[in-house]
Amino acid sequence: MDEKLEPIFDEVLRRNPGEPEFHQAVREVLLSLGPVVAKHPEFAERKIIERICEPERQIIFRVPWIDDTGQVRINRGFRVEFNSALGPYKGGLRFHPSVNLGIVKFLGFEQIFKNALTELPIGGAKGGSDFDPKGRSRDEVMRFCQSFMTELYRHLGEYTDVPAGDIGVGTREIGYLFGQYKRITNRYESGVLTGKGIEWGGALVRTEATGYGAVFFLREMLKARGDDIADRTCLVSGSGNVALYAIEKIHQLGGRVVACSDSAGVVHDPKGIDLELLKQVKEVERGRIADYAGRRGHDATYLAGGNIWDIPCDVALPCATQNELTGRDAATLVGNGCIAVSEGANMPTTPEGVDVLLDAGIAYGPGKAANAGGVATSALEMQQNASRDRWSFEATEARLAEIMTHIHDLCFATAEEYGAPGNYVTGANIAGFQRVAHAMVALGLV
């Protein structure tokens, strides 16, 4: 790390104890910024980096609710409004037992730069709760969402803060959250949440956008190397929203996804995942991939507790969660001849894993660039809400593809400019940071 940045990082460690994921996310960005601070003395003078590392506002609240047996339950809710230099706070809500302040801060920090890379007017935020939706009934999820919004609504607004989904929060939960917001405020304020159902203010392609976007980014990385996705054997970890639509787009482009996973195990399906069956199990029945393997028959094997990265592939898309791909996994991928990794999840590769992939010189698209398609399409949803308009699937998908190509080209060109050709980590960090930093200088000491 540049010696000017080391004391800033030490201060982040000192002021944010016990938040390893947040430290990891900050460190990864600061490692790229040496040449930027050398070129722009005004950033140091205005303490831009110190300010970017400190959230503008952090909200932590109690979420009481009643389960189906009549018992009182208490969870903790979070919203970290990290940076609004470029637009209203924007970023998802995650409901998962692993959620704590450090996780929300890492996600919010990543979101600042990701959103900046889209070049759309959105600031960075993240929120959620340690509520575990697994095994909860529809009514329990609804009561939880209503209680969560009863506190959070006062901090939101289409010009203030616009949440969306993330792990554990999909269209159903956004519906319950939106319904409660509407009831409390007496405003049909469509632009206050994104990821809405298409019948009530949502946008076509938002559901598909993160997965599709990660594949569009992959396509651009391969194109830059004179290659493409057709006939490539692919691994997609996870089996949630991002994974499902990454699989769909890979299949549309002629690649073959031979495995996916959940927290319990891995499905290996050498003939290619049957996406209709997987969607039925995951989206309709809210089941586990073990059920998929059982119904797919002898073509597919289920590996309880297995590691998806041990399966040989040409291309890997980590679409599950943070730190799911380790240094050892990265070495296995490289050893098996993998040529590209495009991250649909947020920070899925550990720092050791990133080093292995970069050292091997394979095409590596970090999440803050490769998975920006979801939030970019949220911004398109906000545009449609603001103009009370509705765009076609084709037009919206074309716009998403254009945005992903632009993010790729921006990261590629920035990496070249700063002497790290082909390094999308450097390109994404510097390009995203510069946009926010220039806006923060222009807005004065805010």
Catalytic residues, by residue number, are: 126
Closer residue to ligand GLU, CB minimum distance, 345 or 356: 345
Among 21, 28, 166, 324, binds ligand GLU (CB under 6 A): 166
All residues at 6 or more sequence positions from 289 whose CB lies less than 8 Å from its CB, including other chains: 239, 260, 261, 262, 264, 265, 266, 267, 278, 281, 282, 302
Task: Please identify which residue in the block is written with the tokens 């970890």.
Answer: 237
Helix 101-117 × helix 373-386 angle, to 10°: 70
- Using CB under 6 A as the binding rule, whether residue 164 contacts ligand GLU is answered as yes
Query: H helices within 297-392, ranges in order?
Result: 327-335, 351-360, 367-370, 373-386
Number of shown-chain residues binding ligand GLU (CB under 6 A): 10
Closest C-alpha among 190, 159, 156 to residue 175: 190
C-alpha to C-alpha distance for 182 and 176, rounded to whole angstroms: 10
Among the listed ranges 30-38, 87-95, 269-277, 286-294, the one in contact with ligand GLU (CB under 6 A) is 87-95
Closer residue to ligand GLU, CB minimum distance, 189 or 228: 189
Q: Per DSSP, which regions of 191-251 are E strands?
A: 233-236
Closer residue to ligand GLU, CB minimum distance, 330 or 370: 370
- Residue list 290-319, contact with ligand GLU (CB under 6 A): none
- Using CB under 6 A as the binding rule, whether residue 194 contacts ligand GLU is answered as yes
CB of 80 to ligand GLU, least distance (A): 13
Among the listed ranges 96-104, 219-227, 371-379, 395-403, the one in contact with ligand GLU (CB under 6 A) is 371-379
Q: Binding pattern to ligand GLU, positions 35-74, x when CB under 6 A?
A: ----------------------------------------
Residue 335 and residue 359 in contact, taking contact as beta carbons nearer than 8 Å: no
C-alpha to C-alpha distance for 341 and 237, rounded to whole angstroms: 12
CB of 207 to ligand GLU, least distance (A): 11
Closer residue to ligand GLU, CB minimum distance, 117 or 278: 117
Encoding tokens for residue 406?
A: 């632009």
Among 378, 384, 385, 426, binds ligand GLU (CB under 6 A): 378
Closer residue to ligand GLU, CB minimum distance, 92 or 202: 92
- Residue list 230-259, contact with ligand GLU (CB under 6 A): none
Q: Binding pattern to ligand GLU, positions 336-355, x when CB under 6 A?
A: ----------x---------
CB of 69 to ligand GLU, least distance (A): 32
Encoding tokens for residue 155?
A: 């901090």
Q: Please tell me the number of Cα atoms within 13 Å of 290 on its side-chain side.
A: 7
Alpha carbon 214 to chain centroid distance?
A: 10
Closer residue to ligand GLU, CB minimum distance, 174 or 300: 174
Task: Please identify which residue in the block is written with the tokens 């054997």.
Answer: 233
C-alpha to C-alpha distance for 367 and 360, rounded to whole angstroms: 19
Query: H helices within 33-88, ranges in order?
Result: 34-39, 41-45, 48-52
- Using CB under 6 A as the binding rule, whether residue 92 contacts ligand GLU is answered as yes
**Residue nearest ligand GLU, CB atom distance:** 92
Among the listed ranges 46-54, 89-97, 183-191, 352-360, the one in contact with ligand GLU (CB under 6 A) is 89-97
Contacts with ligand GLU by CB under 6 A lie at 90-92, 164, 166, 194, 346, 374-375, 378
